Amino acid sequence: MSRPVAVITDTEELDPDPGVRLLTDAGFEVRVADSRDPEVIAATAHDADALIVGYARVDAALLDRLPRVRIIATMSAGHDMVDTSEAARRGLWVTNLPHAATEDVAVHALASALSLLRRLPQADAVVRSGGWNEDFIEVPRRASELTLGLVGFGRIARTLARIAAPVFGRIAAYDPHASGTDWPEGVERLGLDDLVAGADVLSLHTPSTPETRGMADAALFARMRPGSMLVNVSRGDLVDPEALLAALDSGHLSGAALDVFPVEPPAPDDRLRTHPRLQLSPHSAFLTDTSLRAYILEPARNVLAWWTTGRPHTPVVVPAERTPHAQPAPVQQGAPA
């Protein structure tokens, strides 16, 4: 019997070797198509049973060219690069990595918020230019007197709420999809309008959907407190960049921290790169030595679990009926059956 085939796409900064070894040792033939180009992916994965993807778009057109694929495993918590409706229609599994960088992104969001509050980039600039504290005219506000507002209250936001609780005076959140039965003590539950109007730091933690894209627009910024701040470690298209720049230019917002952008990387002349009230990081909130290992190993473990048991560890799309390819099957080279 031929070996099952797994293809890993667009690893970018990740080292695919640990995932390749894990699947190879289990009897898979593993190929790496280190590209987002659908032509490259289709040519490499034409006979693949499993597809492990980074940011590459997996849509109906690509799936038409991958007739044997039965599982798509993403190398991220987000799975908006996959047309999940189309995958469900075709009876495919789709998995994500809900826990790989939860702590890392939450810590990055907290660090970004505190850096904004403490005016650390401005303080750094004063010293580097030869000045001292009499030249530092940015007076920070005390965090224990401020409200941290969380838009979305999933795993990352809940971790952020827990680690930020000793620092901020009040933490509030909005999430229309969260269950009230497991809402933690110490986090006030508010409607979106009340949250936006009451937060000193507003941190975004919601996926990119038709309803949320562009939600941080001129109208939302106008409802925020004068002098408040925005943190986005979630998805770049949640924020209208021109509206954000206008709110910073007017002084209505005193600062913002962005780890994600509508276009990545932003163009060299993009004003987001140079605005003095913006604190930027290169989509690196997830980045630690531990998360880098998890991002390649956990998708491979999802594929291996699917092959050996019929079900991956962390599915986000579950086929209504298992197809023959999704049944455990014996493979060569000593792989689990």
pLDDT tens across 204-246, in order? 999 888 999 999 999 999 999 999 999 999 999 999 999 999 9
With respect to residue 336, please indicate whether it lies within any of the assigned structural domains. Answer: no
- Has 235 been annotated as catalytic? yes
- Residue 34 token pair: 């280190």
**What are the C-alpha distances in Å from 249 to residues 47, 69, 119, 319?**
53, 49, 17, 49
**What are the C-alpha distances in Å from 203 to residues 140, 184, 302?**
19, 18, 31
From 260, 280, 300, the end of a domain falls on 280
With respect to residue 107, please indicate whether it lies within any of the assigned structural domains. Answer: yes
Mean confidence (pLDDT) of the chain: 92
Dihedral (Cα; 78, 83, 89, 94), 10-degree rounding: -30
- Examine the domain organization and report whether 61 and 181 are in the same domain: no
Which of these is catalytic: 235, 275, 277, 301?
Answer: 235
- Has 264 been annotated as catalytic? yes
Alpha-carbon Rg of the chain, whole angstroms? 22
* Average pLDDT over every residue of 297-312: 97
- Has 79 been annotated as catalytic? no
Residue 165 to residue 247: CA distance in whole angstroms:
28
Indicate whether 83 pLDDT > 60. Answer: yes
Q: Can you give the pTM of this predicted structure? A: 0.81
pLDDT band at 45 (very low <50, low <70, confident <90, very high): very high
- Residue 275 token pair: 């605005």
DSSP 55-85: S--B-HHHHTT-TT--EEEESSS--TTB-HH
Indicate whether 328 pLDDT > 90. Answer: no
pLDDT digits (tens, 9 = 90+) for 249-288: 999 999 999 999 999 999 999 999 999 999 999 999 999 9
Apex 178 CA angle, 177 and 182, nearest 5: 160
- Examine the domain organization and report whether 49 and 131 are in the same domain: no
With respect to residue 332, please indicate whether it lies within any of the assigned structural domains. Answer: no
- Examine the domain organization and report whether 33 and 152 are in the same domain: no
In terms of residues, how long is the chain?
337
- Examine the domain organization and report whether 165 and 296 are in the same domain: no
- Examine the domain organization and report whether 68 and 141 are in the same domain: no
* Average pLDDT over every residue of 47-60: 96
Indicate whether 336 pLDDT > 80. Answer: no
- Examine the domain organization and report whether 57 and 117 are in the same domain: no
With respect to residue 293, please indicate whether it lies within any of the assigned structural domains. Answer: yes
Residue with tokens 């720049």: 245
pLDDT at position 325 is 44
Most confident among 12-16, 105-109, 319-323 (mean pLDDT) = 105-109
With respect to residue 17, please indicate whether it lies within any of the assigned structural domains. Answer: yes
With respect to residue 255, please indicate whether it lies within any of the assigned structural domains. Answer: yes
- Examine the domain organization and report whether 146 and 128 are in the same domain: yes
- Examine the domain organization and report whether 161 and 297 are in the same domain: no
Q: What does the longest C-alpha to C-alpha distance in the chain come to?
A: 76
Residue 245 to residue 252: CA distance in whole angstroms:
10
- Examine the domain organization and report whether 208 and 307 are in the same domain: no
Indicate whether 331 pLDDT > 90. Answer: no
pLDDT digits (tens, 9 = 90+) for 129-175: 999 999 999 899 999 999 999 999 999 999 999 999 999 999 999 99
CB atoms within 10 A of CB 114: 17
With respect to residue 79, please indicate whether it lies within any of the assigned structural domains. Answer: yes
Residue 151 to residue 205: CA distance in whole angstroms:
6
- Crossing angle of helices 102-117 and 155-164, rounded to 10°: 50
Which of these is catalytic: 283, 311, 313, 325?
Answer: 283
- Examine the domain organization and report whether 197 and 220 are in the same domain: yes
Residue closest to 236 by CA, chosen among 116, 78, 86: 78
With respect to residue 331, please indicate whether it lies within any of the assigned structural domains. Answer: no
Domain that includes residue 169, residue range: 102-280
- Examine the domain organization and report whether 84 and 197 are in the same domain: no
Q: Structural domain tally of the chain?
A: 2
* Average pLDDT over every residue of 320-328: 50
- Examine the domain organization and report whether 57 and 197 are in the same domain: no
CATH number of domain containing 221: 3.40.50.720
* Percentage, residues of the chain above pLDDT 70: 95
